[in-house]
């Protein structure tokens, strides 16, 4: 093995035996000179493991640690130890420790441990060697858990009734019964420098991890996790947060993980373990399987990452592929086949510009209302015409009656029946077709409305129409360009979050002569250079007629140009004949010479 840590240990322990990424050698720290009295030093040498470089003695002669801990114990020249930084300031908080401690009393408490108590710990898999290492004692009624400080002495101990965990008190110097002195086995923080450490709640949980030979500290209660600071744990590379399976403990662990950032890894309980499940309960029920279960949970612990997990992204991608294989998952289809062919269906952000009175609103209204009739949820943000005018134009197109005839009610009996039927159709359609005129619209309100409509219609597809981009509400009207670009950023985020499709109307800019360009291009759009970056498709609707032309309206044609697209080739899409007076268009293919 050629990594620096492995090379360092093999050099220091030349008589060690390396097998399955574990180096075993006679412990150089055991006090016994007789080889039969010395323990075995076990070192984990797997560069892909978070515990790479961790060592411990199987006779627990001294707490284990990582290379810097080994170097100090062996009194090596620290510059030869991997990870040593001569410029690092080990500014451990200096404490004026009192002259009096309770070390001698702990010996008396340890002598009072009973066979019944040893059996109690044994049912969890905790052996006498761990209890001896941690100097657990008994005062005749309460178990005594000593809290040793940086100087190696104990000034206070946590006394807990073995059958009633809530019955507890602190014994010793009151000053050391408060944080930061109440970190159980807190010395492991320093011993695990540049390595990994487990943080848990409760003394008994810690004993379980110690039994497995893992470095660990504990707080008396999960709520105490908030007392830890990133500064106190700054020299650790990875911190595993392994707490009991209950909302309070897991909330505290998440709060600490947020503070620690990338170095924190949260251990998540699998679904088969019910709420209020504890690590002690896991040890009792798993028995001999407990070590493998713990190591599996640690291996699967999720990093508190600013990214979604690779597993999440892979599953989401596979589900999206399956969804797109079905008709329901394909892009929305408009009522214009040639437009669908040119765009590959309606998806993403589609921005259309056009000359004034070219029929932009009518064009998108026709697409939107026809989709709503197919039970696709549509939100139509209208800042141009008003709700009733939109409903009237939709009604006129549906029943093939002019708006004037509907309002005047000069209808034949057949036309009246047609109107009544179309009113019923409109009523049913409005469940899926929501027109919004709110000029106090905000991106957050738009999100809530999309979320509501998708939930109400049981759909994961939605079409959003904005008429128009330049009339969306801005906080500061003097900063219109900035406001438009900000809205485009929000539309991109909504597209990605909800999978929403957008039809957005934009104004065109005039040239220096005050005229509009007759040749469509991206520079024709008004007021935002960001349209070319935000739009999945950018289109321009150009009339092939003049406002002063005497050609009957139902003979007039518009051309729709795709001027930019992320996936499709730009060009002329089709021509659209005005369907007068029914507020719609009829799509025509390009002529052979067009």
pLDDT at residue number 476: 60
Q: pLDDT over 90 for what percent of the chain?
A: 74
CA distance 279 to 200: 10
- Do 103-303 and 340-405+438-588 have matching folds? no
d(CA 224, CA 104): 29
Q: Which fold has domain 340-405+438-588?
A: Rossmann fold (3.40.50)
Tell me the CATH number for domain 103-303. Answer: 3.40.1360.10
Say how many Å lie between the first and final Cα of the chain, rounded.
71
Report field, pTM of the whole predicted structure over 0.85? no
CA atoms within 13 A on the CB side of 96: 0
pLDDT 10s digits, 462-499: 999 999 998 998 766 456 678 888 999 999 999 999 99
Instruction: Provide the pLDDT for residue 528.
Output: 62
Q: Write the DSSP assignment of 330-378 as a string of letters.
A: SPB--S-HHHHHHHTSB-SEEEEEE-TTSSHHHHHHHHHHHHHHTT--E
3-state helix, strand, coil in the chain (%, to 5): 40, 20, 40
Confidence check: pLDDT of 154 > 90: yes
Q: Comparing C-alpha atoms, which of 505, 503, 506, 504 is closest to residue 527?
A: 506
Q: Is the pLDDT of residue 303 over 90?
A: no
Give the pLDDT of residue 547. Answer: 65
pLDDT at residue 594, rounded to an integer:
45
In contact, 8 and 67? CB cutoff 8 Å: yes
Domain chopping of the chain, boundaries: 4-80, 103-303, 340-405+438-588
Report how far Cα 157 is from the mean position of its chain's Cα atoms.
41
What pLDDT is stored for residue 326 in this prediction? 61
Which segment of 295-309, 359-373, 534-548, 576-590 scores lowest on mean pLDDT? 295-309
Question: What span, in angstroms and rounded, lies between the C-alpha atoms of 347 and 414?
Answer: 39
For 42-84, write each residue's pLDDT tens digit. Answer: 999 999 899 999 999 999 999 999 999 999 999 999 999 999 9
Task: Give the model confidence (pLDDT) of 168-181 as tens digits.
Answer: 999 999 999 999 99
Distances (CA, A) of 469 to 139, 350, 367, 443, 500: 77, 12, 18, 13, 17
Query: What are residue 23's phi and psi, to 5 degrees?
Result: -100, 125
pLDDT higher than threshold 60 for residue 592: no
Burial 150-176 (b: 16+ CB within 10 A, else e): eeeebbbbbbbeeeeeeebebbbbeeb
pLDDT digits (tens, 9 = 90+) for 495-547: 999 999 999 999 888 877 767 777 788 888 876 667 888 999 999 999 988 76
Comparing 111-125, 435-449, 528-542, which segment has the lowest mean pLDDT?
A: 528-542
Note the pLDDT of residue 357. Answer: 86
Q: Give the chain's mean pLDDT.
A: 90
């Amino acid at each position: 093995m050629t990594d620096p840590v492995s090379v360092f240990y093999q050099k220091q322990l030349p008589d060690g035996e390396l097998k399955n990424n574990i180096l075993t050698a006679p412990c150089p720290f055991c006090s016994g000179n007789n080889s039969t009295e010395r323990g075995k030093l076990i070192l984990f040498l797997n560069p892909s493991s978070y515990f790479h470089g961790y060592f411990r003695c199987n006779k627990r002669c001294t707490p284990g640690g990582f290379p810097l801990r080994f170097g100090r114990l062996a009194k090596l020249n620290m510059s030869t130890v991997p990870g040593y930084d001569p410029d690092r300031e080990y500014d451990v908080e200096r404490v004026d420790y009192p002259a009096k401690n309770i070390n001698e009393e702990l010996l008396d408490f340890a002598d009072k441990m009973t066979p019944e108590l040893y059996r109690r710990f044994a049912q969890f898999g905790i052996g006498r060697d761990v209890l001896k290492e941690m100097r657990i004692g008994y005062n005749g009624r309460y178990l005594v858990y000593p809290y040793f400080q940086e100087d190696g002495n104990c000034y206070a101990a946590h006394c807990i009734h073995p059958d009633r965990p809530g019955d507890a008190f602190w014994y010793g110097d009151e000053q050391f019964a408060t944080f930061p002195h109440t970190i159980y086995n807190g010395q492991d923080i320093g011993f695990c420098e540049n390595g990994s450490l487990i943080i848990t709640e409760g003394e008994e949980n810690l004993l379980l991890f110690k039994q497995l030979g893992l470095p660990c500290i504990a707080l008396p209660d999960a709520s105490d996790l908030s007392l830890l600071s990133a500064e106190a744990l700054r020299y650790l590379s990875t911190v595993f947060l392994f707490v009991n399976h209950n909302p309070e403990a897991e909330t505290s662990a998440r709060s600490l993980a947020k503070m620690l950032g990338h170095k924190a890894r949260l251990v998540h309980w699998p679904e088969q373990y019910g709420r209020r499940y504890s690590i002690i309960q896991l040890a009792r029920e798993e028995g001999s399987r407990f070590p493998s279960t713990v190591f599996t949970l640690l291996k699967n612990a999720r990093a508190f990452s600013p990214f979604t997990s690779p597993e999440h992204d892979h599953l989401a991608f596979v589900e999206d592929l399956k969804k797109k294989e079905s008709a329901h998952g394909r892009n929305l289809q408009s009522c214009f086949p040639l437009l669908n062919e040119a765009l590959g269906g309606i998806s993403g952000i589609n921005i259309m510009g056009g000359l004034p009175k070219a029929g932009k609103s009518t064009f998108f209204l026709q697409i939107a209302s026809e989709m709503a009739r197919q039970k696709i949820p549509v939100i139509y943000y209208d800042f141009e015409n008003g709700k009733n005018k939109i409903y009237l134009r939709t009604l006129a197109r549906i029943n093939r009656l002019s708006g004037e005839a509907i309002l005047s009610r000069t209808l034949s009996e057949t036309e009246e029946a047609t109107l009544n039927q179309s009113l019923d159709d409109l009523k049913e359609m409005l469940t899926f077709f929501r027109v919004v005129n709110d000029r106090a619209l905000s991106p957050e309100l738009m999100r809530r409305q999309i979320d509501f409509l998708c939930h109400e219609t049981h759909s994961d597809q939605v079409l959003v129409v904005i008429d128009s981009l330049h009339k969306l509400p801005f906080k500061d009207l003097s900063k219109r360009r900035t406001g438009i670009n900000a809205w485009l950023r929000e539309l991109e985020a909504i597209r990605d979050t909800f999978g929403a499709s957008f039809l957005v109307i934009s104004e065109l800019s005039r040239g220096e002569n005050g005229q509009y360009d007759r040749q469509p291009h991206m520079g024709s759009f008004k007021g935002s250079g960001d349209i070319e970056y935000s739009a999945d498709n950018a289109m321009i609707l150009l009339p092939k007629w003049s406002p002063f032309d005497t050609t009957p309206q139902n003979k007039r044609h518009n051309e729709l140009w795709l001027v930019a697209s992320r996936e499709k080739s730009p060009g002329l899409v089709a021509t659209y004949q005005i369907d007068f007076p029914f507020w719609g268009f009829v799509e025509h293919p390009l002529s052979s010479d067009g």
